Chains A and B, each alone.
Chain A
């Protein structure tokens, strides 16, 4: 059966900072932040999979805290500052967590990797000392279907050590 007349979705303006750059755009009121980042700004590093908060592949930082961008509306990001995976490296120089994921082979297909790295970034931003439990808790909202997690945990520990010693 054909869809009954599709409802007109109103637009609203969102002004936010993404990876240090200010943007003002019109977005549909019901559009998730994930869609805005990927389809409007072309920042396709952030992934979407479950769209229900279970997998963490869409994790980004909003005002320094991790959120699932599949569950935040783009319009809610008004006046906020967002960091995505694209915002971590400076030029050709990788963030220490990215570097550690490469060094320990913590990515296979890589689909979960941006989300995991953003969760790890929030953890390492937050505190100089982290326990094993804190590390596991910080990553508990991110699912990886490939690696079995050991190399991921190793990567975050390595990044932690490296950032302590530098």
Chain B
């Protein structure tokens, strides 16, 4: 069966009825790749791509609210620098027209670039079900283990909420220019109270924050020494693995290097922050 609801309410009803029997699909950039590789053979789909209501970006009290169906192409036009740059690093333009932030979060790849940017920004994710209503949880609590998340079989991701962070930065090390999966990526952001958060991709089973290193930064004015201390702590805190794309030791070193580079950029930044985050 192919279900193509036009409203999110209908989608939740179908999700409640079909549960894990229906493959949820939006942009298809993860699902159809897996089908083309023969890794999955779904025969029942719940397609969210016809629901316009989840393709919107709203502002609410200084927060940005992204519908789950907002594409990387849309995010690439935002002024939140870490999310903009993360989004523009995904695939080519056609992939960015298809791939959605909800799909990125649901897939929960340790290399999920959107997830890493959102973690640094301190985002919350809204999970909704027909029977139990809507719940907001911090994105950092959503990722449990390798591709294991807080999303239940009767839930869909509805939206993401991003607090105001006037400054943020992004860097991804990958092996090819355009269409690249990252080897390591790092996002940093700073809110109005100078609370600074670091997040990393490809350094463990899930996209992650670095709470110890981030704690060193909080409330402190950035200085070269402080940045060195934080970068050293990051190397101890992350636990990357060896794989075909790179070694653990290399990744660990790059986490330090990127932390230093991005924090230094924040330190030297325009004190007013990035234009209109």
Stretch at the interface among A86-94, A100-108, A133-141, A152-160: A133-141
What secondary structure prevails in chain B residues at the interface with A?
Answer: loop
Q: Shortest distance in angstroms between A27's beta carbon and chain B's nearest beta carbon?
A: 9
Residues in chain B near residue A51, CB distance under 8 A: 33, 36
Nearest A residue to B73 via CB reads: A65
Nearest A residue to B3 via CB reads: A12
A7 interface residue (CB < 8 Å to B): yes
Q: A54-B179, A75-B4 are in contact. Are A67 and B98 (CB under 8 A)?
A: yes
Q: Are A71 and B32 in contact (CB under 8 A)?
A: yes
B107 interface residue (CB < 8 Å to A): no
Residues in chain B near residue A8, CB distance under 8 A: 43
Residues in chain A near residue B85, CB distance under 8 A: none
Interface residues of B in 91-118 (CB under 8 A from A): 91-95, 97-98
* Candidates B25, B41, B50, B179; contact of A53 at CB < 8 Å: B179
Q: Are A141 and B25 in contact (CB under 8 A)?
A: no
Q: Are B33 and A52 in contact (CB under 8 A)?
A: yes
Q: Are B94 and A119 in contact (CB under 8 A)?
A: yes
Residues in chain B near residue A56, CB distance under 8 A: 92, 94
Q: Are B42 and A30 in contact (CB under 8 A)?
A: yes
A-contact 0/1 string along B33-44, CB 8 Å cutoff: 101110001111
What secondary structure prevails in chain A residues at the interface with B?
Answer: loop
Q: Are A29 and B32 in contact (CB under 8 A)?
A: no
Q: A54-B179, A75-B2, A140-B179 are in contact. Are A65 and B36 (CB under 8 A)?
A: no
Q: Shortest distance in angstroms between B23's beta carbon and chain A's nearest beta carbon?
A: 9
Complexed CA–CA distance, A157 and B44 (Å): 45
Q: Are A53 and B91 in contact (CB under 8 A)?
A: yes
A114 interface residue (CB < 8 Å to B): no
* Candidates B4, B37, B42, B94; contact of A78 at CB < 8 Å: B4
Nearest A residue to B179 via CB reads: A54
Complexed CA–CA distance, A133 and B97 (Å): 18
Complexed CA–CA distance, A119 and B73 (Å): 14
Interface residues of A in 110-155 (CB under 8 A from B): 119, 122, 137-138, 140-142
Residues in chain A near residue B42, CB distance under 8 A: 29-30
Complexed CA–CA distance, A7 and B41 (Å): 9
20 A-B interface contacts by CB (under 8 A): A8-B43, A10-B2, A12-B2, A29-B1, A32-B32, A51-B33, A59-B94, A65-B73, A65-B97, A67-B94, A73-B28, A78-B50, A119-B94, A140-B92, A140-B178, A141-B92, A141-B93, A141-B95, A141-B178, A142-B92
The 9 A-B residue pairs whose C-beta atoms are closest, nearest first, are A141-B92, A12-B2, A140-B178, A66-B94, A51-B36, A71-B32, A29-B2, A75-B2, A65-B97
